[in-house]
Amino acid sequence: MAKPVLCIDSLSCCEGCGLQILNCETELLPIFAACDVGRFREGSDGDVDHYTIAFVEGSIVTAHDIEKIQELRAKTDILVALGACATIGGVNVLKNFQDPDDVGKYVYGDKRAWFPHVPARPLKAEVKVDLEIQGCPINPLEFLEATRCLLMGKPFKAPNYPVCVPCKLADNVCLWHKGIPCLGVVTRAGCEPYMCPSAGHKCIGCRGLVDKPNTNAAKDVMAEFGLTVEDVLREFRLFQGIYKEVSQES
């Protein structure tokens, strides 16, 4: 029986999620032993004509990205959006709030005409995505578990509860009580044991919103600490809250 063929590729991004895969080190060996790696930008050379599973990081920023993800989708059985850029647009969406000509000139200089760019958006804006693994970068433990499930034909479900749940279980002091606006109250969990609040850093929402965020609880927290809606939206702008806005404009 032929082995499943894996692809790990990228669009516009820093490729940090690919590096996180390599950081799994020896835990990757059983997976790679059970598969053939058809393409892995960060780890091997070569390519093949068809993939069983393709993990794709990065967001759609240029016309070339659209062509590439459509080509990948056409030759892949299971397409996995890998990381914040691929699932919710990532930090690339910051350019959507700026003049596109200014952005193109700043990034590409006199070569900007070679890169016809579009509003930044996640993979699902252009193609069907079968599974999403959130985070910036991804949690390597979650990647390993998701990959094992896919190879065994078992369902994988990311947590659908907020970061506040594991954060409280870890006995962390709530950062809101330290005057730090933390987005963990509505952000999807799954980053443990690497939660930012455990290191004293606020949650910046890189894993996207839970499916049904408790907006009333979020409003209560905002009111308790004297924040306005504009204050919180400013925090969300880095990773969340703009995909619908972009899709309506484009």
Domains and CATH numbers, the chain: 5-152 (3.40.50.700), 164-249 (no CATH)
Higher-pLDDT residue of 29, 248: 29
pTM reported for the whole predicted model = 0.88
> How do residues 115-125 score in pLDDT, each as one tens digit?
677 889 999 99
> How do residues 215-237 score in pLDDT, each as one tens digit?
777 777 777 887 776 777 677 77
Q: What pLDDT is recorded for position 247?
A: 38
Higher-pLDDT residue of 10, 119: 10
The pLDDT of 46-50, averaged and rounded, is 90
Per-residue CA distances from 236 to 78, 150, 205, 207, 232 (Å): 30, 31, 7, 12, 6
- With contact defined as beta carbons under 8 Å apart, do 21 and 143 qualify? yes
> How do residues 56-98 score in pLDDT, each as one tens digit?
999 999 899 999 999 999 999 999 999 999 999 999 988 888 8
Report the C-alpha gap between 208 and 17 in whole angstroms.
16
- With contact defined as beta carbons under 8 Å apart, do 95 and 155 qualify? no
Vertex 231: Cα angle to 203 and 216 (nearest 5) = 75
Please give the mean pLDDT across all residues of the chain.
88
- With contact defined as beta carbons under 8 Å apart, do 32 and 8 qualify? no
Q: What pLDDT is recorded for position 244?
A: 43
